[in-house]
């Protein structure tokens, strides 16, 4: 291997952070300007953020197994980086499902409400990323 196994987590983890934040801003701009192109870009960023989030979780388990070992006691969620991020990605998957159902008129939820929920999940996600930075000694 070119890198040690744990390095891959540090290489991958920035993608979901950037994709979720960028996608959320696209969604806000799309909502404010009533522009479906921005909403589509937000939607695509959400999908890619989930994809790279799952890759980041997998590489995080490898890193945790090699170096840290904090997932030996995964609770409380609010204080454990790994569990926190798994729950955050699950929340983003739920938001994706809600957006899909909403676009197909299976449910009727205002996009404003979806943005508020997504904003709260973004804060939860950023807190988890902060915990990870502290765990890696970056803060």
The pLDDT tens digits of the residues spanning 4-37 come to 767 888 889 999 999 999 999 999 999 999 999 9
If one counts every other C-beta atom within 10 angstroms of the C-beta of residue 2, the result is 5
Q: What is the pLDDT of residue 118?
A: 97
Looking up tokens 């490898």, which residue turns up?
62
CA 135 to chain centre: 18
Looking up tokens 């291997």, which residue turns up?
1
Give me the mean pLDDT over the 125-138 stretch: 88
pTM, two decimals, is 0.91
- Domain-by-domain residue ranges, the chain? 7-135
DSSP state, 3? S
The first and second tokens of residue 123, run together, are: 């804060």
Q: Tell me the C-alpha distance between 113 and 132, whole Å.
A: 29
The first and second tokens of residue 104, run together, are: 């197909």
Q: How confident is the model at residue 47 (pLDDT cuts 50, 70, 90)?
A: very high
């Amino acid at each position: 291997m070119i890198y040690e196994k744990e390095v891959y987590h540090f290489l991958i983890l920035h993608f979901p952070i950037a994709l979720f934040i960028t996608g959320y801003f696209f969604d806000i701009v799309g909502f404010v300007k009533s522009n479906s192109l921005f909403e589509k870009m937000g939607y695509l960023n959400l999908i890619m953020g989930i994809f790279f989030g799952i890759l980041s979780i997998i590489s995080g388990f490898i890193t945790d197994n090699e170096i840290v070992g904090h997932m030996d006691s995964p609770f409380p969620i609010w204080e454990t980086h790994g569990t926190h991020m798994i729950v955050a990605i699950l929340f983003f998957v739920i938001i994706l499902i809600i957006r899909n159902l909403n676009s197909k008129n299976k449910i009727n939820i205002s996009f404003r409400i979806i943005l508020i929920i997504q904003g709260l999940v973004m804060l939860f996600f950023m807190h988890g990323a902060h915990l990870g930075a502290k765990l890696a000694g970056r803060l």
